[in-house]
Amino acid sequence: MNNQDIKNLKKRYFVWLYKTTKEAFDKFERKFTQTDIDKDILLEMENVLMGSYLPHEKVALEKLINNFREYISAKEKSCLELKYQGLRTNPEFIFLDVKLSAIEESIIKEFGRRGLEEIKALYEKEMTQRIFRSTEH
């Protein structure tokens, strides 16, 4: 095996390691970012819907808005229960956070910042492609 083969093996392992750790870490973080976005969407919808429709339409719209508000609240509760155990942060979350940082530092040592950015870009591309593939059906 030559040096390039070894470098390629290391890079593939780092890609796999980053991907699997980032996916596990994202399970904790994604719902928090989703609820932030959902709250912004809810506010925008409330501003548009509640001020411009007829009374008979408002009742149905208010019900739909309240359903969305309850959905957001349930999602927020779920992510808090996942990330925190009582007043303490879930040790798995802490471990994954530290592990992901350590992996990123190791990638930088081996391949530089550009290598890390390349691996992050590959990860984002894969995750986005998954979303599109999952919604094609």
Q: Which pairs from 87-91 meet CB under 8 Å and 24+ separation?
A: 90/28
Residues pairing with 88 in the sheet: 85
In the chain, where the domains are located:
3-134
What confidence tens digit (pLDDT) does each residue in 25-56 have? 999 888 889 999 999 999 999 888 766 677 77
Q: Is the Cβ–Cβ distance between 106 and 15 less than 8 Å?
A: no
What confidence tens digit (pLDDT) does each residue in 69-105 have? 999 999 999 988 888 888 899 999 999 999 999 999 9
In percent, the amount of the chain with pLDDT more than 70 equals: 96
User: What does the mean pLDDT of the chain come to?
Assistant: 91
Ramachandran angles phi, psi of 12, nearest 5°: -60, -40
d(CA 58, CA 63): 8
Q: Is the Cβ–Cβ distance between 42 and 65 less than 8 Å?
A: yes
d(CA 72, CA 70): 5
